[in-house]
Amino acid sequence: MARAATLVIAAGVIGLAAGAAAFYWTGGMAGNPASASCAAAREVSARMAPHARGEVAAFTVTERPAPAPDLAFNTPDGRAVTLADFRGKVVLLNLWATWCAPCRHEMPALDRLQETLGGPGFEVVAVNIDTRNPERARTWLTDTGIRHMAHYNDHSARIFQDLRKVGRAFGMPTTLVIDAKGCELGYLAGPAEWASEDALALVRTAIGTSAPAR
């Protein structure tokens, strides 16, 4: 049932983004060519490719990784940070808003992903881009029981526009996986079941860890 609900929601998001889908490509970010600094990321993204299936089949692996833009947003206490502050860990960057039904749908799964794999080497960085009533997102997260992810935000929504300029944001939600050196490994337009075994295998490959023994 969860998968069916996700597929229905995803269909709506894909429909909204269909006009812009042609701008997505499997190379580095538009206007940001692959560089020597991301050579190692290319090997990792190649290992991720076979795991882009099932619940994360819509995930697009970046074949020629390039540095992601140094996007700016705020911490829960209002401190300004950029992606550069997360160097040293793999980041799953997710843009969401309370007015976006598919975004709200995938928040609990993202929270479970953070609970399962979050630590010194990995973090789910979910950035809320509500431009009105900034407290609405915090209240919604609390009421929904989201407790493992930090409440990052950008109430100017500039982060969305910055990603749109490089061909990585035409609808919501938008998700990128970025390695410890700041290189893009892949992206997904629309929601996914991020706590599924498919997603865990994909993210573990990005981190460089194996599934725990059972």
Q: Residue 212: inside a domain, yes or no?
A: no
Residue 44 falls within a domain, yes or no?
Answer: yes
Residues 86, 190: Cα–Cα separation, whole Å = 24
Burial of 192 (0-12, 13-18, 19+ CB in 10 A): buried
pLDDT tens digit sequence for 91-144: 999 999 999 999 999 999 999 999 999 999 999 999 999 999 989 999 999 999
**Sheet strand arrangement including 184-189:** 60-61, 184-189, 174-178, 90-96, 122-128, 152-153, 72-74, 80-82
**Structural domain includes residue 213:** no
Name every residue whose Cβ is closer than 8 Å to that of residue 100 and which is 6 or more positions away in sequence.
172, 173
DSSP H or E segment with residue 138: helix 135-144
Mean pLDDT score, 73-97: 97
Asked if 118 and 124 touch (Cβ cutoff 8 Å), the reply is yes
Helix (H, G, I), strand (E, B) or coil at 73: strand
Inter-residue contact 209 to 66 (CB < 8 Å): no
Q: Residue 132 falls within a domain, yes or no?
A: yes
pLDDT (tens digit per residue) in 58-75: 999 999 999 999 999 999
66, part of any domain:
yes
Q: What is the mean pLDDT of the chain?
A: 87
Domain range for 96 is 2-207
Specify the 3-state DSSP secondary structure of 27: coil
Q: Are strands 122-128 and 152-153 parallel, antiparallel or unpaired?
A: parallel
In angstroms and rounded to an integer, the radius of gyration of the C-alpha atoms of the chain is 16
Collapsing DSSP to helix, strand or coil, 61 comes out as strand
Task: Look at residue 2 and tell me whether its pLDDT is greater than 60.
Answer: no
- Domain-located, residue 120: yes
Does 21 map to a domain?
A: yes
List C-alpha distances in Å: 73 to 48, 68, 92, 193: 28, 14, 15, 25
CATH number of the domain where residue 116 is located: 3.40.30.10
Query: Could you tell me the two tokens for 51?
Result: 């795991």
Number of domains in the chain: 1
In tens, the pLDDT along 32-44 reads 665 788 999 999 9
